Amino acid sequence: MSLLYWRNLFRNWIQILKKLFLYASVYEEAVTVEALSWIIGDEIDESPFVGELLQKLIQRGLFSKEEVYNRKVYTEHTIVRDFAQNKLKEETLDKKKLLLRAAKYYENLADQNKNIWDILRARDYYFQAEEWECASHIVLTIVDALIRWGYIELSMSLLNESIKTVSDEEKWSLKFPLL
């Protein structure tokens, strides 16, 4: 194999590593390797595998790994995430697009595992991306279950946040979600 081949391979590897480093900074919580693969994906390669790259970032102390409920999750260290978020701004990358991608990941995950907390994470990312209608739709979908399970304060908080951000037409359904 030629030197040019290895140089291009290395350059490509560095680009993916940089992308993972920057894009992962939108996640506020520790996430699985699947979530990290999803965030750096695109229309061509929806979810490239990042396990090997992730191990390199862990070895360099940029990410940490822990086990939560028998699942390995990863997170950028706080100071690293702050640096990466500043870099995102400098490079004028579309943070909204990344937030929407994170929201879609959690929405897909919630469809698979029926976990209400995953759909609430999707709602949080939609809210950060200022996609008010998507965020309020999720709230309307789950508010009954939250109230039934005793999360009344959380339900009221989510409804109030949604009321402040949606159109007048949608406010009616948010004020009276049980009708």
Mean pLDDT of the chain: 85
Listed in order, strand segments (DSSP E) in the chain are 63-68, 71-76
**Would you say the pTM of this structure is higher than 0.85?**
no
Integer Cα distance of 31 and 122 in angstroms? 13
Structure confidence at residue 36 as a pLDDT band (50, 70, 90): very high
- Which residues, other chains included, contact 20 with Cβ-Cβ below 8 Å and sequence gap of 6+? 36, 40, 50, 53, 54, 57
Higher pLDDT, 173 or 31: 31
The stretch 57-78 carries a mean pLDDT of: 90
The stretch 15-31 carries a mean pLDDT of: 88
